[in-house]
Amino acid sequence: MSGTDSGPDPAPQHSGTSSVTVMPARTILRTFGPFLRPQWPGCVLAGLLAVAGTGVALLKPWPLKYLFDEVLLPGGGPVRPDVQSILLLIVVALAGVALLDSLVGAARSYALTYVGERVAAAIRTRLYDHLQRLSLSYHERTPTGELTTRLTGDVDKVRGLLTSTLVDASTNALTLLSMVGVLLVLDWQLSVALLLVLPLLMLTVASFRARIRAVEENAREVEGDLAAVAQESLVAVKLIKATGREEHESRRFRGRSDDSVAAVLRTARTSTFFGGAVDAVVAVAVAGLVGLGAQRVLAGALTPGDLVIFTSYLRDFFGPTRALSKLPAQLTRAGVRAARIADTLKRTPDVVDRPDARVADPPRHRIALEGVGFAYAPGHPVLREVDLTVPVGTTLAVVGPTGAGKSTIAALLCRLQDPTSGRVLLDDEDLRDLTSDSLHTHVGLVPQEAMLFRASVRENIAYARPGASAAEIEHAARVAQAHDFVLALPDGYDTVLAERGATLSGGQRQRLALARAVLQDCCVLVLDEPTTGLDARSEDAVLRALQQVSSGRTTVIITHRMAAAMTADDIVVLDAGRVVERGKHHQLIAAGGLYTEMCRLQGLTGPSTALHDEETSYEHRSARQLETEPAQPSPT
């Protein structure tokens, strides 16, 4: 649809993260838990491996305890005769524990990767499906680069949170509890001293949490802006090159890139300071506790082997503690991304099927608008009390100046929008009482911009009917006056088009879009500005194609080009959202109103155009005028 007819946007919502709150862990699990549920076997396996890893971590220092207490420092007694056997067992135990730790760690890592990728794919697919169903207004006010970032970077952050981060946190918590239990048995006084360090760690975490949240939100917003600028510039590369604005766009991208670097560095500095503060607390605590443990050994309360276990657990204790202390910051960072995804998933389309919606039948009598009003925002109507009736098998042209509401009528007829007031009818059925899928099998739209994919001509024409035969595709191309130029392409129907059909002319792109509509075989066809931006030769070719396509169909042509409207059975003139004139071409010319003025501005008010007869019909133009433009080369 033409943006000029879309009307003002309703209170645009900024796409940045500033409008989205950070999700707490419980809300994240409630929101994304359904994506984890199908992967429960992998989750259970990862959990069991995490428990096994905790057990292996607890076993690590015990061979060293026996090395010190039974071999190296046996309490001043005589050296045991079986010391070599004991030493061999200790060495085997050390190697076995290390090997087991490696195997368990590798298996756990693979299980988490498997679950994480499956969960990410499920979230990404659900998000993509939901984006496809959201209303056009949402896509119009949300940059494509921002949506792309949500599908990629944001989903990856949430994947890491749901798998690695939470499993690691659970493993670390289990490890800490197990170590505390063992240490309490070894020496409760040292254990109490160790636990006294934890409040200081929590205080350090709390002092950094708000700052980490702020810099992460800013980094996420700047990242989305950078992606949006890149996507926008790449799409408009032809305009940029044609206007010599390459350097300007490079500077604009460089500026956003510098902003992104600065935001990431702010996040890195904050994380570095936070990690340094935590490490400093841990280092001081470890030094103090090792000194206290040495005093306990000298006092005879602990054996050297006990001190080895305590020191090893102390090192391993503060590793998980440090990781858990950073968990709030990780939750904050992932929470920003999760909130963006959840915000999109909770949005509902403006157009939804009613629970009792019926399957649409092909229209037998008419399509109509009855008293239709429409506004994109309250108080800013785009259409006002519009009444239109299109009998089945006829062609209606809707014309008017830019911003009159023409493309909004196209959206309403195809139920891309619902009217604010009044009804849109298929025969006597309100479109809101019909299922959207069944409606779209009967009412097809050819948008103003012919959307072509980076695929073969055959695949582009058959987009709405992938199973169509080669004969059906060729017939559709012939009806749309596209067959001849398609055959002139390097590989004919198998020619792979450039992105958005960039190597074809506007007229060629439009005729391929018409061929797609023919193959879809809708009995009602809505054409939104089919000749906009075309030169006279291309316009002539498209108009002839339109006559072929509309033959036998109910057709609504939305246009501001009078040449496209002249051959319609009926013409409606819109101005400021109201129907101001209606009739056939010669009647409207005779009335001398807005239609006459538009024809005059386009040089179509001569005697030959005042009469709508065979001499003005495109079907009776000379053979020279009916020649199609030569096909332009397509990339190999």
**Extents of the domains making up the chain:** 23-345, 366-620
Q: pLDDT value at position 605?
A: 61
Position 444 scores a pLDDT of 83
**Cα dist. 480→393, 394, 546 in Å?**
18, 18, 7
Which position has the higher pLDDT, 493 or 378? 493
Give the per-residue pLDDT at 8: 36
3-state DSSP call for residue 260? helix
Average pLDDT, the chain: 78
The predicted structure's pLDDT at residue 623: 34
Query: What is the rounded distance in angstroms from the CA atom of residue 68 to the CA atom of residue 330?
Result: 40
Q: Which residues contact 178 (CB under 8 A, 6 or more apart)?
A: 54, 55, 58
* Residue 254: alpha-carbon gap to chain centroid: 24
Q: What is the pLDDT of residue 624?
A: 33
Structure-model confidence comparison of residues 511 and 623, the more confident one: 511
pLDDT digits (tens, 9 = 90+) for 115-174: 888 888 998 888 888 888 887 778 777 777 778 878 888 888 888 877 777 777 777 788
Instruction: Look at 375 and 200; give whichever has higher pLDDT.
Output: 375
Q: Name which of 142-156, 326-340, 344-358, 412-426 the model is least confident about.
A: 326-340
CB 578 within 8 A of CB 384: yes
Residue 625: what pLDDT? 37
Q: How many other CB atoms sit within 10 Å of the CB of residue 44?
A: 12
Q: What is the pLDDT of residue 5?
A: 42
Q: Which pair of structure tokens corresponds to residue 220?
A: 């996420």
What average pLDDT does the segment 321-332 reach? 71
- At 21 the pLDDT is 53
Cα 64 to the center of its chain, rounded Å: 54
Sorted by sequence, the CB contacts under 8 Å of residue 86 that are 6+ apart come out as: 66, 70, 71, 80
Residue 200 reports pLDDT greater than 70: yes
How far apart are alpha carbons 544 and 551 in whole angstroms?
11
350: which DSSP letter? S
How far apart are alpha carbons 507 and 628 in whole angstroms?
Answer: 9
CATH number, span 23-345 = 1.20.1560.10
Strands 381-391 and 395-399: unpaired
Output the pLDDT for position 77.
55
Query: Taking a C-beta distance cutoff of 8 angstroms, is the pair 512, 485 a contact?
Result: no
Grade residue 287 by pLDDT with cuts at 50, 70 and 90.
confident
| pLDDT reading at 79 higher than 70 | no
Residue 13 has pLDDT above 60, yes or no: no
pLDDT for the residue numbered 73:
66
Query: According to the model, what pLDDT value does residue 103 have?
Result: 92
**pTM score of the predicted model:** 0.61
Return the higher-pLDDT residue of 212 and 362: 362
**pLDDT tops 50 at residue 361:** yes
pLDDT at 618 over 60: no
Lowest mean pLDDT among 156-165, 401-410, 454-463, 598-607: 598-607
Query: What is the dihedral angle through the alpha carbons of 120, 121, 122, 123, rounded to the nearest 10 degrees?
Result: 50
pLDDT at 19 > cutoff 70: no
Residue 626 pLDDT: 35
- 366-375, strands of its sheet edge to edge: 381-391, 366-375, 421-426, 429-430
Helices (H) and strands (E) in the chain, counts: 25, 10
CB atoms near residue 245 (< 10 Å): 15
Q: What is the model's pLDDT at position 553?
A: 81
According to DSSP, residue 2 is labeled -
- Alpha-carbon distance of 588 to 573, in angstroms, equals 9
- Beta bridge partners, 396, equal 556, 570
* Residue 463: CA count within 13 A, CB half-sphere: 18
Q: Stretch 65-74: mean pLDDT, rounded?
A: 72
**Angle at alpha carbon of residue 20, lines to 17 and 26, rounded to 5°:** 125
**pLDDT tens profile 455-477:** 888 888 888 788 888 898 888 88
**Partners of 430 in the beta sheet?**
425
CA angle 311, 108, 268 (to 5 degrees): 70
Q: Looking at per-residue confidence, does 606 or 568 come out higher?
A: 568
Mean pLDDT of 357-379: 87
- Cα separation of 149 and 136, whole Å? 19
pLDDT tier, 75 (very low <50, low <70, confident <90, very high otherwise): low
Model confidence at 358: pLDDT above 50: yes
Highest-confidence segment of 165-174, 321-330, 601-610: 165-174
Token pair of 382, please?
């785009």
Using DSSP, state whether 160 is helix, strand or coil: helix
Top-level CATH class of 366-620? alpha beta
**Residue that wins the pLDDT comparison between 24 and 600:** 600
